[in-house]
Amino acid sequence: MTQDSRDQARALAGGQVARPQQLRLVAVPKPVGPRRALFNGRDLAGWNGWLGYPDPAVTYRAQPGAAPLGTSRDLGEHFAVREIDGAPALWVKGETWGSLVHREDLQDYHLRLEFKWGDRVWPPRLTEPRNNGLLYHTHGRPGAVFGTWSPSMEFEIMTGSTGMLVAVGRDVRGRTSVAFDPTIIAPHLRFRMNGREVDLVNGTPTWNVEAARDAERPVGSWNTLDLYVVGDRAVHVVNGVPVMAVRDIATVDQAGVRRPLTRGRVQLQSEGAETWFRNITVEPIRSLPRIVAA
């Protein structure tokens, strides 16, 4: 952490310093249609796998020196349906980075899933934090981002940071409100209701915004994530606690034209940590819940 990065974050936040907020969810929408399962509990029907580089350590290099694995390997070694805690779950090994992408194009929905960390972590990330992610409004070709993921907005799944907002791909944008938090790594920006508005842009000092608080349960426990999406807005909820709101989700083309991003597929990441997912469902909604500060 450098003084320059702290000063930059403080300026981006308009001088507001992050202090604890007791946030709660109100006006939770009622579904306007039936709840459907995206994971059938038997196999990976409806999901496509993609793998990045054989050595994940080269993922962020300008010249990785290798081609992504894509679908050339047996994906069953990396993604599978297995039983855990007496029920089937979707297993992500995590050793090779990549993702499972659901084929359905989704719009205006409430997605709920449960996840928990497995026992294994893999190089180059052998220490905390464990890393994964629920990516939504996924579009574009597989591997378009660092040869490994498709452009998306991300509901981060990371120990200590679950619910964080990340722009995956340089064409993805989103606006949220922040305060300066010097206790976290750069960019030192944490979500805050009524904070300073910033535009999320990958590759800049606003490439991510930390969740309002850490609401994840201890490693080895199941966690429930709720993602509410209506049009170009979304709300992230971790174990019943609202931790993020984003609006004006968009893509930006080479000419700088910004277009609302209102739909897309979902991805479950593989990024260095064994992870289990279960009870993945979606139901249609027409409005977002509101986050209020007590």
- pLDDT tens per residue, range 76-96: 999 999 999 999 999 999 999
The token pair that represents 158 in the structure block: 């990371």
Q: Is the pLDDT of residue 1 over 60?
A: no
Residue 60: Cβ within 10 Å count: 9
Bridge-based pairing state of the strands 98-102 and 47-51: antiparallel
Residue 88: Cβ within 10 Å count: 15
Q: DSSP label at 149?
A: B
Model pLDDT, residue 73: 87
**What is the rounded distance in angstroms from the CA atom of residue 201 to the CA atom of residue 132?**
20
Q: Which CATH number fits domain 3-293: 2.30.30.140, 3.40.50.2000, 2.60.120.560, 1.10.10.10?
A: 2.60.120.560
Handedness of CA 150, 135, 118, 185 (dihedral sign): positive
Residue 182: Cβ within 10 Å count: 12
Model pLDDT, residue 2: 72
Closest CA to 209 of 239, 248, 177, 254: 177
pLDDT tens column, 46-76: 999 999 999 999 999 999 999 999 999 899 9
Q: Are residues 222 and 115 in contact, defined by beta-carbon separation less than 8 angstroms?
A: yes
pLDDT tens column, 205-225: 899 999 999 999 999 999 999
Non-local (6+) Cβ contacts of 105 within 8 A are: 263, 264, 265
**What is the rounded distance in angstroms from the CA atom of residue 29 to the CA atom of residue 38?**
20
Model pLDDT, residue 251: 98
pLDDT tens column, 117-134: 999 999 999 998 999 999
Segments making up each domain of the chain, as ranges: 3-293
